[in-house]
Structure 1
Amino acid sequence: MPMAPYPPAGAVPGQWTTGLCDCFDDPCNCIITCCCPCITFGQNAEIIDRGGTSCFVGGLIYFLLAQFGVACLYACSYRTRLRDLHSLQEHPCGDCLVHWCCTPCALCQEYRELKNRGYDPSIGWVANAEKMSKGAATMPPMTQGMGR
């Protein structure tokens, strides 16, 4: 199943829908990320990988790498993939530098970006895919107007 093909209404193409420091736009996710960033990373990774990486495995790898202080190097690769999937700018600086300087802010921004693009990272890829397929099945077919 492809990622959501269109940015949300009012979004500027190529730009993030929220800023890096807008963490309190989603206070619940902000608190979870500050307390246990491996949870948010795992949720993001599962959606970005389209189920190829489970939330548990992604979060566990992140947790283990964090013990050596290098989790940001792993997480920045997912930020790059998210940007590539949605043609987003590398902003405000390089992906690895964003994660190195402020991993919680980066993870929160990525989580919000997925939510703003129609995904709910908290329910996982399978539930999101089912939700999207049901939405596509209930959408009326597009027809051309009849002209005379």
Structure 2
Amino acid sequence: MNEQVVSHAACGTAGALYALINAVTGCACIYSCFYRGKMRAQYNIEGSDCGDCLKHFFCELCALTQQYRELKNRGFNMDLGWAGNVQRQQNQGAAMGAPVFQGGMNR
């Protein structure tokens, strides 16, 4: 299967799950703060799970924008999605971590 097709399917699934959680609970931040924690762990960025949830609960758009910028600054191709970028970096023999930016998601 084509790498782009797989990433679009994964993105569509994640979007549908986000919408479903939002429709059922009215609080989709439950799902999105999970990815913030995943990013922090992956790149050794300071923070806490509680802080992640609070950021997403009170300002979801700002938190998602920070995550987008952090990934973009680390060389991610947003068209490939998370799984596509992981696969691309593994094929290139690079570790998942790109150069560490001072301060992380504080901008």
Q: TM-score, normalised by structure 1?
A: 0.48
Task: Report the counterpart of residue 104 of structure 2 in structure 1.
Answer: none
Task: Provide the rounded CA distance (Å) in 2 between the counterparts of 1:86 and 1:121.
Answer: 17
The structure carrying a bigger helix percent of its residues is 2
- Residues 1:126 and 2:84 are matched in the alignment: yes
Q: Which runs of 4+ in 1 moved over 4 A?
A: none
Q: CA deviation at 1:126?
A: 2.7
**Structure 2 gap ranges (5+):** 1-6, 95-107
Q: CA deviation at 1:59?
A: 0.7
**Range with greater deviation from structure 2 (82-91 or 104-113):** 82-91
**Structure 1 gap ranges (5+):** 1-50, 137-148
**Cα RMSD, aligned residues only:** 2.6
**Amino acid across the alignment from 1:75:** S
Task: Report the counterpart of residue 70 of structure 2 in structure 1.
Answer: 113
Q: Secondary structure at the match of 2:26?
A: coil
1:30-61 CA-to-partner distances (Å, cap 9, x unmatched) read: xxxxxxxxxxxxxxxxxxxxx6x810111110
C-alpha spacing 1:57/1:90, structure 2 compared with 1 (3 Å): same
Q: TM-score, normalised by structure 2?
A: 0.65
Matched ranges for 1:68-107 at <5 A: 68-90=25-47, 94-107=51-64
Q: Find the structure with the greater CA-based Rg.
A: 1
- The aligned length equals 84
Contact 2:76 2:85 in 1 (8 A): no
Q: CA deviation at 1:131?
A: 6.8
Q: CA deviation at 1:121?
A: 1.9
C-alpha spacing 1:84/1:134, structure 2 compared with 1 (3 Å): closer
Matched ranges for 1:1-148 at <5 A: 54-67=10-23, 68-90=25-47, 94-124=51-81, 125-126=83-84, 129-130=87-88, 133=91
**Amino acid across the alignment from 1:116:** N
Task: Provide the rounded CA distance (Å) in 1 between the counterparts of 2:71 and 2:93.
Answer: 17
